[in-house]
Structure 1
Amino acid sequence: MPHKANAARRHHIPRPKRRVTNWSDYNEALRQRGSLTVWFTDEAIVAWKAAPRTTPGGQPHYSDLAITTALILRAVFRLALRQTEGLIGSILQLLGLDLPVPNFSTLSRRAQTLDLPAQARITGGAIHLLVDSSGLKLSGPGEWLVEKHGTSRRRSWRKLHIGFDAVTGRIVASILTDRDVDDASQVEPLLDQIAEPVELFLGDGGYDRTGVYTTLDERHPDAKVIVPPRADAVFSATADTEPNQRDRHIQAIAGKGRMAWQRDSGYNERARVEGQFARWKQVIGDQLRFHSDGARATEVAIAAQVLNRMLDLGCPNSVRVA
């Protein structure tokens, strides 16, 4: 709406102004994101060829690390598979290495079954887990086809679920599902990807489900759960004698209002996971380019690794100035 109702009487909160205090280091980190030496490492060159196979069957030419390196370059520079093949070939030629180059069909086939190793955390300790979901479009006919020829198309997309560690700023879990999958049902699969203890779990109202609280109580009984109850939420049967975390949230909202509860409980920290989705779609893109579910799952896992690697190169430290 161009003009909202009662705009003159609405409470306008000015956007805070921040200043980056480590601009020189962050500027260098931004330049390093485009350096081939960051993404095409010596470890990948050493382990380029696959280990000899001891079981019956054909012998693979390329290790999983070689395929992963190629797919990482594809994600970083937004290349097609044939362009990725050309880039890998030119890099090996410039380095004077006599190594085979995986062709585009090999990359497409291996992406469907690629086994990616778990990412190690930079710092130990408990995780402050922020969860949310967003949509990623599937490749297909664009708006020009619809406008030019009058064809109709259904907007197809998949739902990306991520778990974001507020302590380190890294994506620690990611899952790709169909668009009609409930967010709360993916909490357990996300926790399956996390080996460290979860100290804080924070999600929006879509995670206000009994199954979410039950799963967290079983796996991380000491975790603090901050999920806004629904507007018609009721107390549990033991609220008078032994209130649970959800009961205390309902009591706080009833006593001082939802806005005050958000401020006092730390729920506003959840906005950081929204920034992760904005970063994902700006750096990686807002669509999936593979055409099979297995390859798309690999594409999402590769994208999470890319964003974490960029974060390891350097991130801005900002302070509020107004």
Structure 2
Amino acid sequence: MPFKYNSTRRYRIGKMKFKLTNWPEYEAGLRRRGSLTLWITPEALSSWQAPKRTTRGGQPRYSDLAIESALTLGLVFGLRLRQTEGLLASVLKLIGLDLAVPDHTTLSRRARTWRSVDGREGQDIAAKQAVHVLVDSTGLEVYGVGRWLEDKHGARSRRGWRKLHLALDADSGEIIAHVMTGQDEGDASQVEPLLNQIDNPIGQFIADGAYDGDPTYEAVGRHSAGAVVVIPPRSNAIERPDAGNTSQRDRHIAAIKANGRMRWQAASGYGRRSLIETAIGRYKSIIGHRLRARSFSAQQTEVALGCTILNRMLACARPKSVRCRTVKA
């Protein structure tokens, strides 16, 4: 694969260097990410109480927006539910608002039934504008036996891990769709659920070799008929001689055979797939590589809020870097 190309001579190739062109704005945005006013908005405070129910049943005390604000605060600052309750109570007291704070048991229970108030993640995409979609998946650990017990006594957690499937807008860097599944679900099987969350037409779709196959091409074709699909075929893939019209996959195979895989990647723009790898690394470094919730529904809520948090952070501060050109003597 590309990162192993000429691996025996890679030490002679100097590392690329970049510099930021918007450092003052980027630095101010990074500071703003830690501001409480960014995560506790006036809209959430004005809609803190839940609306009256018109059907039979108990009356909820807190709105979904209030629960979302509390859970978001805990994810941003890496707090557990009890510490989140204490932080939120102190903030409301400093503001001078006489609002009840949901306790940790309420947050845990409501997280299993929470529904997004703002809808889908990507909100800044212009209507009917074609998007460049990048898709990939990663694993997230779940609550269970710790690493020390596993190494010392051979204990194994029965919960395993979850798979987070993400769709990224390559131009804005925002997460525009996400799906969380169990560890046994294949990557290609979640392409259609991801695309169902995207209203805009797709101009180009890029994924790694795990998505190679007819199901992925057909799912993208059903969503956007003219979409360009860039997926590296398997090393032993061959063209279909009986195909009437040459498919995109056959054209990729022919281009690789004629020019090699490296030139095909440069010509097709496959290198932009690194952007979603960066987004996955951003998720694990900021939100975490382990899910805190224990039930599957609460874990879905945690993932949805995590994606929303990353999009809001990206809107506050996004670096603009250019490559430094080195002049040889």
TM range (shorter): over 0.9
| CA positional deviation for 1:118 | 2.1
| 2:70 counterpart of 1:70 | yes
Structure 1 residues 123-202: aligned runs within 5 Å: 123-124=125-126, 125-147=129-151, 150-154=153-157, 156-202=160-206
Alignment RMSD (CA, Å) = 1.7
Aligned partner of 1:264 in structure 2 is 267
Instruction: Name the amino acid aligned to 2:272.
Output: E
Does structure 1 retain, via aligned residues, the 8 Å contact 2:122–2:176? no
Question: Matched residues in 1 for 2:121 and 2:277: separation?
Answer: 22
Cα distance change of structure 1 residues 12 and 162 upon mapping to structure 2, 3 Å threshold: farther
2:165 match: secondary structure = strand
One-letter code of the match for 1:122? D
Distance in 2 (CA, whole Å) between partners of 1:7 and 1:320 is 23
Aligned position for 1:249: 252
Supply the distance in 1 between the matched residues of 2:302 and 2:94 (Cα, whole angstroms). 27
1:118 alignment partner, one of 117, 120, 124: 120
Question: Residue deviations 1:253-276, cap 9 Å, x none?
Answer: 010011110111100110111001
Quickly say closer, same or farther: Cα 1:57–1:210, change in 2 above 3 A: same
Q: CA deviation at 1:234?
A: 2.2
SS in 2 for 1:261: helix
The answer to whether residue 294 in structure 2 is matched with residue 291 in structure 1 is yes
Residues 13 and 135 (structure 1), Cα distance of their counterparts in 2 relative to 1, 3 Å cut: farther
Given the superposition, is the C-alpha separation of residues 81 and 226 from structure 1 closer, same or farther in structure 2, using an over 3 Å criterion?
A: same
Deviates more, 1:194-203 or 1:9-18: 9-18
The CA distance in 1 between the partners of 2:111 and 2:157, in whole Å, is: 26
Partners of 1:208 and 1:112 in 2: how far apart? 34
Q: CA deviation at 1:10?
A: 5.3
C-alpha separation between the residues in 2 aligned to 1:9 and 1:25? 39
Normalising by structure 2, we get a TM-score of: 0.92
Instruction: Give the letter aligned to residue 86 of structure 1.
Output: G
Task: Give the superposition deviation at 1:192.
Answer: 1.2
Conserved 8 A contact 2:121-2:307: no
Give 1:130 shift.
Answer: 0.3
Instruction: Measure the CA separation in 1 of the matches of 2:8 and 2:260.
Output: 24
TM-score for both structures, normalised by structure 1: 0.94
Q: Residues of 1 paired with 2:322 and 2:82: CA distance? A: 44
Structural mapping, 1:52-91, within 5 Å: 52-91=52-91
d(CA) in 1 for partners of 2:273 and 2:134?
6
- For these two proteins, the number of residue pairs brought into alignment is 316
Which amino acid counterpart does residue 53 of structure 2 have in structure 1?
A: R
| Residues in 2 aligned to 1:238 and 1:219: alpha-carbon distance in whole angstroms | 26
Q: C-alpha offsets along residues 13-44 of structure 1, whole Å, 9 cap, x if unaligned? A: 43210000110100011000110000000000
Letter in 2 for 1:307: L
- The equivalent residue for 2:281 is 278
Q: Secondary structure at the match of 1:229?
A: coil
Give the Cα separation in 1 of the matches to 2:47 and 2:22.
36
Whole-Å Cα distance in 2 between the matches of residues 317 and 192 of structure 1? 31
Contact kept, 8 Å, 2:212 with 2:232, in 1: the verdict is yes
1:318 equivalent in structure 2? 321
3-state SS of the aligned residue for 1:43?
Answer: helix
Partner of 1:50: 50
| Long gaps (5+) in structure 1 | none
Runs of 4+ with >6 A deviation? none
Q: Work out whether 1:205 is the aligned partner of 2:199.
A: no
Preserved CA contact (<8 Å) 2:112 2:301: yes
Within 2, Cα distance between the matches of 1:26 and 1:67?
30
For the residues of structure 2 that align with 1:200 and 1:8, how far apart are their CA atoms? 34
AA aligned opposite 2:284: K
SS at match of 1:298: helix
2:121–2:175 Cα contact (<8 Å) kept? no
Moved more, 137-146 or 209-218: 137-146
- For 1:23 and 1:152, the matched residues in 2 are separated by 48
> Which whole-Å CA distance do the structure 1 matches of 2:59 and 2:217 have between them?
47
Percentage identity across aligned positions? 49
5+ residue gaps, structure 2: none
User: 2 CA distance for matches of 1:292 and 1:16?
Assistant: 44
